[in-house]
């Protein structure tokens, strides 16, 4: 890890055991760490005592640190010769603005390295004991955000549902706050009995999930009191999930299809 550069490090879904060796090495070497909300506390135990740790997330009462400030801070510290690690939940390049940050840094002439992390969608399906793809049920996956940047960028859910109906698993990030609209849109092209699951805090001890059908998706979220951070999974890979059992994980099943 070069001084004067920035490493965007994927901290995974929360469980520190899901960190990569590369991530641990980068965290250990860092002199400055800029840390997102969804980075599990256990991950920071690998940081040096002397490292400067800056929390730049939305939780903890403050509004989210403006993106421009984060980018400015990373640039300033890197130019001073610090070893800067930007720790992001999951994978740095799956949502979460890692792409924007890398573009900004490269435009300033700062070397950027990226270390993959296990993205929340993968942790969520694995927590359910199901694969994202399965030869019999799904020949692909769509990772999609339920939270578009602006109205005009909002997804047309019925069109997405039509693609999913061809045999693709939908893995929806940031979807719980707009679950009603999302459900209505998906019902435009997917049958009401399509299996769905919601996994909150995948890979952490507080992990909870619920399983049901598309017709009852919004009710499942409110009924079980599920909230962010959560992944919504839609598709036939979830079929038969009520038979699955996963040691050590609290199972909170609704009705499976």
Binding mask 228-247 for ligand SAH (x = CB under 6 A): xxxx----------------
Residue in 90, 195, 212, 235 binding ligand SAH, rule: CB under 6 A: 90
| 72 tagged catalytic | no
CA angle 59, 62, 65 (to 5 degrees): 90
* Binding of ligand SAH by 195 (CB under 6 A): no
- Could you say which of 1, 74, 132, 174 is catalytic? 174
List 13, 16, 185, 195, residue binding ligand SAH (CB under 6 A): 13
Answer yes or no: are the C-beta atoms of 9 and 23 closer than 8 Å. Answer: yes
Does 75 sit near ligand SAH (CB under 6 A)? Answer: no
What is the phi-psi region of residue 37: left when phi exceeds 0, alpha when psi lies from -120 to 50, beta otherwise?
A: alpha
Catalytic choice (15, 36, 91, 236): 36
Smallest gap from residue 144 Cβ to ligand SAH (A): 11
Please choose, from the candidates 141, 232, 203, the residue with its C-alpha nearest in 3D space to the C-alpha of residue 12.
Answer: 203
Query: Within a 13 Å sphere around the CA of 36, how many CA atoms are in the beta-carbon half?
Result: 22
Choices 27-35, 79-87, 186-194, 227-235 (CB under 6 A): range interacting with ligand SAH = 227-235
Binding residue (CB under 6 A) for ligand SAH from 201, 214, 224, 226? 201
Q: Is residue 38 involved in binding ligand SAH (CB under 6 A)?
A: yes
Strand partners of residue 138: 134
Site residue total, ligand SAH (CB under 6 A): 25
Strand 230-234 versus strand 168-173 pairing type? antiparallel
Give, in degrees to the nearest 5, the angle at Cα 177 between 41 and 104. 60
DSSP state of 83: -
- Contact set for ligand SAH, span 148-187 (CB under 6 A): 173-174
Instruction: Give the residue closest to ligand SAH by C-beta.
Output: 90
Residue 197's SS3 state is strand
Specify the residue for token string 């403006």: 66
Applying CB under 6 A, the residues found at the interface with ligand SAH are 13-14, 38, 88-91, 94-96, 119-120, 124, 173-174, 199-204, 228-231
Catalytic residue set: 36, 58, 174
């Amino acid at each position: 890890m070069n001084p004067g550069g920035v490493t965007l490090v994927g901290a995974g879904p929360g469980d520190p055991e899901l960190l990569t060796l590369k991530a641990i090495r980068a965290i250990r070497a860092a002199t400055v760490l800029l840390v997102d909300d969804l980075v599990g506390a256990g991950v920071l135990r690998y940081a040096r005592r002397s490292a400067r740790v800056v929390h730049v997330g939305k939780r903890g009462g403050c509004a989210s640190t403006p993106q421009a400030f984060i980018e400015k801070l990373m640039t300033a510290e890197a130019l001073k010769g610090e070893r800067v690690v930007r720790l992001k939940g999951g994978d740095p390049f799956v949502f979460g603005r890692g792409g924007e940050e890398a573009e900004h840094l490269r435009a300033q002439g700062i070397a950027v390295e990226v270390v993959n992390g296990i993205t929340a969608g993968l942790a969520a399906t694995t927590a359910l004991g199901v694969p994202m793809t399965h030869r019999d049920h799904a020949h692909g996956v769509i990772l999609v955000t339920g939270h578009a940047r602006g109205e005009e960028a909002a997804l047309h859910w019925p069109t997405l549902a039509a693609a999913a109906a061809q045999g693709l698993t939908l893995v929806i990030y940031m979807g719980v706050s707009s679950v009603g609209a999302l459900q209505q849109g998906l019902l435009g092209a997917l049958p009401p009995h399509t299996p769905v699951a919601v996994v909150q805090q995948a890979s952490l001890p507080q992990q909870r999930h619920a399983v049901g059908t598309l017709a009852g998706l919004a009710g499942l979220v409110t009924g079980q009191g599920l909230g962010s951070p959560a992944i919504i999974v839609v598709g036939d890979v979830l079929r038969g999930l009520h038979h699955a059992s996963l040691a050590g994980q609290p199972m909170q099943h609704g009705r499976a299809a």
